[in-house]
Amino acid sequence: MIDLRSDTVTRPSAGMLAAMTSAPVGDDVYGEDPTVTELEETVAGLLGHEAGLFTVSGSLANILGVRALSAPGTEVLCEASAHIARAELGAHAAVSGITTRTWSAPAGQIDLAQIRALISADLGPYFVRTAAVSVENTHNFGGGSIQRSYDVLADELDAIGLPLHLDGARLWNASVASGVPVSAYASRAAAASVCLSKGLGAPVGSVLVGSTELIREARVWRKRLGAGWRQAGVLAAAGLYALQHNVDRLAEDHANARLIAEILADAAPGSVKPDQVDTNIVVADLAATGKSVPEVVEAARTEGILVGGVGPTQLRLVTHLDVSTSGCRRAGEVVAGLLR
């Protein structure tokens, strides 16, 4: 099978497995796992923050980061198809008592006018107070798009004293594609999460970064939610290996995604615009093809290609290090044949 459902399906390489089995470990709840500590300090340094916290998932890192910036009964603003609003199962409301209000924009982009209109920093005791604004970069359901007005938004939030939360699950992809260092993105946010188990190929884990005080509070909440690690160094070692070996090669995934987009656009004009595929995610709209997403997903499976749906007419293909250029070309050709 050629699996392009997500970049989370990657499996550890031989080198990564060797690093995991040789990692020094300790009890991280006691703060005694040296490999976890090294990973947290390394990522915090790369992202321009004081401290980091290793978590089991990007969703948990986001829950902790948003909770650190927003008190129960307040709200966080985000784009309507953002991961924190659409794919974290209502956790921010269910777990933290934090609601969301959203703006909607093509490809999940920042819309400054809409955000300005939504901000309710202090309208008295009868309105929910906006505690933070969250931005996803790259934007998953926006087709892996890179945010275009990120610094302008950060400047405006700084001016009014409202914190920015960055869901940087695929921030490494944004950096490699744009040439902007990850620190230039992450340092603008009061709290930022980055994922190690997507394009970087680690089997599990994300890191939340922020100030020393913010991470201290997030560590308490991680334990409170039952997510404290013990000898987690074997997993942290995979993250360190990924940072050392798998960042620059993300450009290959981006090129493969563009290749798939070009094949699909030729077969079903208008379904995807290749020049708008920024990184490693291709979202094709099947509305004009007469094909349904479940129909194409199942037919592709019978041909040995795994793809997924992310909306009523949206088909998603995500490139990653476990699928070669030839594999991506074959996947594109199979799906294209189903759309013709």
Using one digit for the tens of pLDDT, what is the confidence trace for 232-243? 999 999 999 999
| Assigned domain for 203 exists | yes
From 245, 274, 295, give the residue that closes a domain.
245
Domain membership of residue 218 as a residue range = 10-245
Instruction: State the 10-residue block means of pLDDT for the chain, 340 residues long.
Output: 97 97 97 98 98 98 98 97 97 97 97 97 89 98 97 98 98 98 98 97 98 98 96 98 98 98 97 97 96 97 97 96 98 96
pLDDT of residue 125: 86
Claim to verify: residue 142 and residue 55 sit in the same structural domain = yes
Q: What is the CATH number of the domain that holds 285?
A: 3.90.1150.10
CATH number at residue 133: 3.40.640.10
Same-domain status, 210 and 309: no
Residue closest to 206 by CA, chosen among 197, 214, 215 = 197
103 and 168 co-located in one domain:
yes
What is the widest separation between alpha-carbon atoms in the chain? 60
- Summarised one tens digit per residue, pLDDT across range 157-210 is 999 999 999 999 999 999 999 999 999 999 999 999 999 999 999 999 999 999
Instruction: Judge whether 2 lies within some domain.
Output: no
* Beta-carbon count within 10 A of 282 CB: 33
pLDDT at 124: 84
pLDDT computed for residue 292 by the predictor? 96
Q: Are residues 226 and 266 both part of a single domain?
A: no
- Number of structural domains found in the chain: 2
Contacts (Cβ under 8 Å, ≥6 apart) of 147:
109, 110, 135, 136, 137, 138, 139, 174
| Nearest alpha-carbon partner for 220 in 229, 228, 230 | 228
Please tell me whether residues 134 and 71 are part of one structural domain: yes
The whole model's pTM is what? 0.96
Domain boundary among 190, 221, 245: 245
CA dihedral 241, 61, 84, 285 (to 10 degrees): 10
For residues 238 and 254, membership in a common domain is answered with: no
CA distance 135 to 133: 7
- The verdict on 53 and 188 lying in the same domain is yes
Of 245, 263, 280, the domain-final residue: 245
